[in-house]
Amino acid sequence: MIRFEDVERKVERYHPETDLDLLRRAYIYSAKAHKDQVRASGEPYLIHPLSVAGILADMKMDVATVSTGLLHDVVEDTLASIGDIKGTFGEDVANLVDGVTKISNLGKKSKEEAQAENLRKMILAMTNDIRVVLVKLADRLHNMRTLSFLPADKRKRIAQETLEVYAPIAHRLGMSKIRAELEDLSFQYLDPQEYKRLKEEVESRRASTEAFIEEVKTRIAQRLTEEGVEFVRIDGRIKRLYSIYLKLKRQKITLDKVYDLAAIRIITKEEKDCYFALGVMHKYWKPFQDRIKDFIAMPRENGYRSLHTSVVGEEGYHFEVQIRTEEMHRIAEEGIAAHWKYKEGKGSDTSEDDAIKWLRRMAEWQQDVSDAREFVDSFKLDLFPKEVLAFTPKGKVIQLPRNSTPLDFAYAIHTQVGDQCTGAKANGRIVPLKYQIQNGDVIEILTTPGHKPSRDWLNFVVTSKARNKIKHWIAERQRAESVEVGRKIFDKEAAKLRLKPRQVLEDPQLIKFLNDNGYGKIDDMLAAIGYGKLMARTVLIKFVPPEDLAEIEKAKASKLQKVANVVKRALRLGDDRILIKGVDDVLVYRAPCCSPIRGEEIIGYITRGKGVGVHARRCKNAANLMVNRERIIEVAWMTDKTENPYAVKLSVVTEDRTGQLAALTNTIANVKTNIRNASTDDETLNDGTRKIDLTVDVSDLQHLERVVSALKGVEGVIEVERLNATAQSA
């Protein structure tokens, strides 16, 4: 049974000057907090945190990490809070304990199976301090070592999670020793029968295998010495059960040769000796060409370096050999933890540079980015800066890009869930649809059947799926509206041309027209008409019999003539300065709402029973009238007509100074313009300005602009505005 003194001694040995007081206080705190708890084995609970701290001390972690090992379960399993930890042990330890607690909770949120990859990612994504993961691995290792005390179903579940989530994380961090133990323990609980069978078989061959290993070791040592290659030692071992199991499964073979169980490792002092040793091996044992691997020149992504070969001896047996230096071996076994160690004789300096380099390489490998992220400080890193992982209420993990919102989440689940999304909860609390999802959030989407997407969702969704679905929906809706508008225009135009729309739509000629113009269906054509891309008349005119066409044109001309005559007689407002293009002798009137003057851009609008009103293009009424396109008629100013002046009303805002009205009227007279009327407010406005209204006679737009610019030149004038509505049109 482990005692605190053992942990303390371990830490003291590799780091004599560290703050052992912190460690002692952590131990006392943990002992008090877990006082009345017992493990499934019946032992006091404290055994567990002590063992975890022991594993971390064996990994030669810093004192904050080992202390975290002691405290890692107090927030989750006792009444202590993170605030308490922070107050007692400081920020560093509190952050580590918080990180471990969060990871433990993740396992509880994830209820669905076959999500190992995502859970693995989530653990790494939520960890901004790699030491948290190391504590969690030590925690899991001790739990696996004591798994036999739990009920069978729990054992299986935990073993499964260990095999799929934690062993791969250990692998990713290059920690092959811990990974191996986690895998063998998982195997034992996941497939007890197969484990037992294999173990018995291996045991039955143990003696012969060990004899074989000894023999081969001696011969290799002999050859290396003969050839003058320096080496530190030669290790021989029986392979791990899980790796034998995988190999048998992969190759669909049975275990019948002792050398399948053996693995030989040559440890050298220097890198060059690795290659010399490989040469010697290949000189005396025949290599399998495709089994030679140089992980020294090309290390694995997790930092592993070694030479691998498989050779066959004269007697026909073959075996695998790994060749590496002592340093390579240490990193192969311990991975990232190897970089964390306190350097011997260097006081409190960690080999930080190595660790940072290592993390950086790993981050690059995982993110597949060329520019290495700047690490905020030596231990902190963000392994997946581009992603965020969240849970559904049922525990399924959804992976999204960073800054994703509940809408992105909803569309990731199902298009319909996205379309009908009316609200969202994050971790049980209502959040806005713009909320940015955080790693580990449980997101619940609230839907209302029949609810439709909204265009402004496009302003904050992040995923292309959500964006495309929303856009698709908007396009669909617009299209439906266009088809409807198109159909109305089509029917109206058909009536004008004395055609029955139904008949036209069923005419084979129409199918030909659709094909020739790339419209798949009738609705596509109607949509084009609705969008204004296609004139209904262009389509329909083909269906009018030639004799009808002439008659229709004639009738239309005579109708227009009649309108003109009626207008002429009924209204004496005729303005002979305006020409209606294409139609002679139609009188028109200037719309009083905008009173356009010569030189301005104008449009004509056929009013029912009143004739053609002419509006300035700037006129707001005109903009509204433009919707009825068929009633818009092109109009223009006649250039050769005599000058009948227009009365235009201007509003001048000016500083209130004496003689200002006289100054304005003088100015107008100077530009040879007649003033019909001038009025001024009696009162000065609050801001010390005064408004003066003037009605002037101008011959055209240019003339008006001359007057306005002259007025603007008068000292004290702030603004000159043209008043649209005027009853005094010419």
Which residues lie near Mn ion (CB under 5 A)? Answer: 73, 139
Structure tokens at 23: 């460690």
> Rounded CA gap, 234 and 329, in Å?
12
Q: How far apart are CA 493 and CA 529, in angstroms?
A: 11
Give the list of residues 6+ apart from residue 632 with CB closer than 8 angstroms, or none: 603, 604, 605, 606, 625, 626
- How would you write 75-95 as a 3-class SS string? HHHCCCCHHHHHHHHCHHHHH
Upper half-sphere CA count for residue 375 (Cβ side, 13 Å): 21
Which residue spans within 89-185 are E strands per DSSP?
none
* Least distance (Å) between residue 52 CB and Mn ion: 6
72: Cβ contacts below 8 Å, ≥ 6 apart: 49, 52, 97, 100, 101, 135, 139
The catalytic position among 76, 98, 524, 655 is 76
The CB-of-162 to Mn ion minimum distance in angstroms stands at 13
Place of tokens 């005390």: 149
Give yes or no for a contact between 277 and 266, defined as CB atoms under 8 angstroms apart: yes
Nearest to 70 by CA among 149, 6, 153, 151: 6
Choice between 73 and 273, CB closer to Mn ion: 73
- State the Cα torsion 222-226-232-235 to the nearest 10°: -30
The enclosing H or E element of 435 equals none
Q: Is 281 helix (H, G, I), strand (E, B) or coil?
A: helix
In the complex with Mn ion, the residue whose CB is nearer, 33 or 307, is: 33
Q: Which of 8, 19, 58, 77 is flagged as catalytic?
A: 77
Work out how close the CB of 148 gets to Mn ion at its nearest, in angstroms, rounded to a whole number. Answer: 17
Q: What is the C-alpha to C-alpha distance for residues 696 and 728, in angstroms, rounded to an integer?
A: 11
The minimum distance between CB 139 and Mn ion, in angstroms, equals 4
Structure-block tokens of residue 635: 């109009």
- How far are the Cα atoms of 136, 182, 424, 538 from residue 163, in angstroms, in the given order? 14, 7, 34, 71
Q: Residue 129 or 139: which CB sits closer to Mn ion?
A: 139
Q: How far is the CB of 30 from Mn ion (least distance, A)?
A: 11
Helix ranges (H only) for 406-455 are: 406-413, 415-419
- Residue whose entry in the numeric block shows the structure tokens 């030189």: 599
Cβ distance to Mn ion smaller for residue 32 or 455: 32
CA–CA dist 32, 25 (Å, integer):
11
Under a CB-based contact definition with an 8 Å cutoff, are residues 486 and 526 in contact?
Answer: yes
Contact status, residue 706 vs residue 627, Cβ threshold 8 Å: no
Q: C-beta of 23: minimal distance to Mn ion in Å?
A: 18
By C-beta, is 7 or 381 nearer to Mn ion? 7
CA dihedral 87→91→96→98, nearest 10 degrees, is: 60
Q: Determine the 3-state secondary structure of 343 from DSSP.
A: coil
Cβ-based neighbour number of residue 33 at 10 Å: 22
Instruction: Provide the minimum distance between the beta carbon of 438 and Mn ion in the complex, in angstroms, as a whole number.
Output: 24
Is the CB of 137 or the CB of 258 nearer to Mn ion? 137
Quick one: which of 303, 167, 310, 306 has its CA closest to 246?
167
Return the number of the residue (143 or 595) whose C-beta is nearest Mn ion.
Answer: 143
Q: In the complex, what is the shortest distance from the CB of residue 441 to Mn ion, in angstroms, rounded to a whole number?
A: 24
Known catalytic residue: 444? no
Q: How far is the CB of 96 from Mn ion (least distance, A)?
A: 13
Q: How far is the CB of 73 from Mn ion (least distance, A)?
A: 4
Which of 101/673 has CB closer to Mn ion? Answer: 101
19 is catalytic: no
Q: How far is the CB of 77 from Mn ion (least distance, A)?
A: 8
Which has the closest alpha carbon to 92: 303, 380, 313? 380
Beta bridge partners of 577: none
- Least Å distance between CB 34 and Mn ion? 10
Are 126 and 102 spatial neighbours (Cβ–Cβ below 8 Å)? yes
Nearer to Mn ion, 139 or 419 (CB): 139
Cα–Cα distance for residue pair 170/130, rounded to 1 Å: 12
Dihedral through CA 352, CA 357, CA 360, CA 366, nearest 10? -120
Beta strands in 371-493 (DSSP E): 387-391, 397-401, 421-426, 429-431, 443-447
- Return the residue nearest Mn ion (CB atom): 139
Nearer to Mn ion, 149 or 288 (CB): 149
Name beta bridge partners: 564.
none
Rounded Cα distance between 178 and 48, Å, is: 17
Of 73 and 184, which CB lies nearer to Mn ion in the complex structure? Answer: 73
Go through 301-310 and write b for each residue having 16 or more CB atoms within 10 A of its CB, e for each that does not.
ebbbbbbebb
Cα–Cα distance measured from residue 633 to residue 146, given in angstroms and rounded to the nearest whole number? 92
Residue with smaller CB distance to Mn ion, 144 or 707:
144
Catalytic residues: 76-77
